[in-house]
Amino acid sequence: MSFPHAARPTSSAPCAPVPSCTEPVSLAAVSLRRSWIAAFSLLSAALASSDAAVAFPHVVRSGETLAQIAERVYGRVQMEQVLVAANGLDTGSGVPITPGLRLEIPAVGHRRVRGGETWASLAEELLGAADRSDVLALSNDSMPWIEPADGQEILVPYNLRYVVGQTDTLLSVAYRFLGERDKAWMLDKYNHLKQKPLRRGTVILVPITQLPLTAAGREEASSSGALVRSEGAGQVREAQRRADAEIPLLVSDVRNGRYIDAVVRGNKVLGFGELATQQIATVQRQLVEAYVALDAGGLAETACGAWRKADPRAILDPVEISPKILRVCTTPGAMPPPDPEVDASLDAGAPPPDGGR
């Protein structure tokens, strides 16, 4: 299809009764449409290149509808509207879609925290802005002022792209995708709207955390490699949450002298999977005390070595720690690894305390 050029002579024939007939309107409409396509493409590319935008492909088969796909992948027909928004579709419920169409199936991401990372730094990397740290923290049952632990696997919300419609408000969008109108304030802050009303055509992001996959959905995601790219696909996070529930019981076992129970529980927790570094340190510290009480010196030494490896800065205070534990934890096998910061200062040739005199 070709569009009229400004230099083309005007025909004397009557103009066809279509919106593109009038040349200034046509050019403006084309320009606006191209601007929206370019902006949407840039936003899509930016989000697709991010590790946080976890999704997997699905090729529509003959006879499939969005509602059927939503029910098979998520177990809920209502998730059809998420598929509509994620793929820029505008279709009614149950309307067949074209076979062969490649859809993006949204799913949450997972990320292992490294030492020194904060909610703000993680939010900037994974969600696009440091001031979205409160959403990231709350999505992981934490608070923005309680920093994540080293080795902790966190859930990363899926940033759903949504194009605002004529009658949309933050209240209606929050209810549609988050299930609560009260979260409209969060969407306002998340999108830096500063309480300005939504305008038709505006693209906003909706951070969604409730995207659990069915067995069929997980199988499809796994076959596409999406779960591999998404760290432990939530399995590590689940193991760490189970450990959080068991650790207080472990501490109680040791405090109340139930040392055999403590040994059983502690080793069970360690077998859950990849725990956060602080979780490992806490469990091994309790096992040290239990093993010492049971006169299992070798096991106590091994546990103390694991404890001090997970927490090299742990202080062996003789006021708080029994002589038996001190004796076990000061053997060569229980010594922590060298502190890299100390090694770095020595390599740099730090001057001796007396100034070399």
What are the sequence ranges of the domains in the chain?
A: 235-339
Give the pLDDT confidence score for residue 157 in this predicted structure. Answer: 94
Mean pLDDT within 243-263: 91
Enumerate long-range contacts of 68-73, CB under 8 Å, 24 or more apart.
Answer: 69/103, 69/105, 72/214, 72/216, 72/217, 73/105, 73/213, 73/214, 73/216, 73/217, 73/220
| Alpha carbons 168 and 308: distance in angstroms, whole number | 55
Q: Mean pLDDT over all residues of the chain?
A: 78
Average pLDDT score over residue span 67-72: 93
* 18 φ, ψ (degrees, to nearest 5): -130, 155
- pTM score of the predicted model: 0.62
Which of 223-232, 281-290, 291-300 has the least mean pLDDT? Answer: 223-232
The SS3 call for residue 158 is strand
- pLDDT top residue among 138 and 12: 138
Q: How far apart are CA 255 and CA 87, in angstroms?
A: 55
Give me the mean pLDDT over the 5-12 stretch. Answer: 40
CA separation for the pair 246, 65 (Å, rounded): 44
**pLDDT range class, residue 275, cuts 50, 70, 90:** confident
Higher pLDDT pick, 226 / 153:
153
Instruction: Label residue 94 left, alpha or beta by phi (over 0 means left) and psi (-120 to 50 means alpha).
Output: left
Q: Is the pLDDT of residue 172 over 90?
A: yes
- Residue 319 pLDDT grade (very low, low, confident, very high; cuts 50, 70, 90): confident
pLDDT, average across residues 177-200: 93
What is the per-residue pLDDT for 9?
39
Q: Who has greater pLDDT, 93 or 318?
A: 318
DSSP designation for 87: T
Question: Which pair of tokens denotes residue 117?
Answer: 């990372």
- Residue 32 pLDDT more than 70? no
Average confidence (pLDDT) over 315-342: 74
What is the distance between the alpha carbons of residues 27 and 266, in angstroms, rounded to a whole number? 71
Q: pLDDT at residue 18 above 60?
A: no
Give every CB contact of residue 198 below 8 A, 6+ residues apart in sequence: 164, 168, 169, 170, 173, 204
Task: Give mean pLDDT, residues 76-94.
Answer: 80
Please state, in angstroms and rounded to a whole number, the distance separating the CA atoms of residues 115 and 127: 19
pLDDT of residue 22: 37
Phi, psi of 103 (to 5 degrees): -100, 155
pLDDT at 346: 40
Q: Which residues contact 335 (CB under 8 A, 6 or more apart)?
A: 305, 308
Rounded CA gap, 123 and 131, in Å? 7
Q: Which DSSP string corresponds to 29-77?
A: HHHHHHHHHHHHHHHHHHHHTSTT--EEEEEPPTT-BHHHHHHHHHS-G
Which pLDDT score, from 0 to 100, does residue 51 have? Answer: 45
pLDDT at residue 133, rounded to an integer: 95
**Where would I find the H helices in the chain?**
23-48, 66-74, 80-86, 119-126, 133-139, 170-178, 184-190, 215-224, 226-229, 235-255, 259-270, 277-293, 297-310, 323-329, 340-347
- What pLDDT, on the 0 to 100 scale, is given for residue 135? 95
Which DSSP state fits 346?
A: H
Query: What percentage of the chain exceeds 70 in pLDDT?
Result: 73
Query: What is the Cα gyration radius of the chain?
Result: 29
Least confident of 93-97, 241-245, 314-318, 342-346: 342-346
Mean pLDDT of 156-173: 92
- The mean pLDDT value for 62-87 works out to 91
Residue 224: the pLDDT is 73
pLDDT at 48 (0 to 100): 36
Model confidence at 121, in pLDDT bands (50, 70, 90)? very high
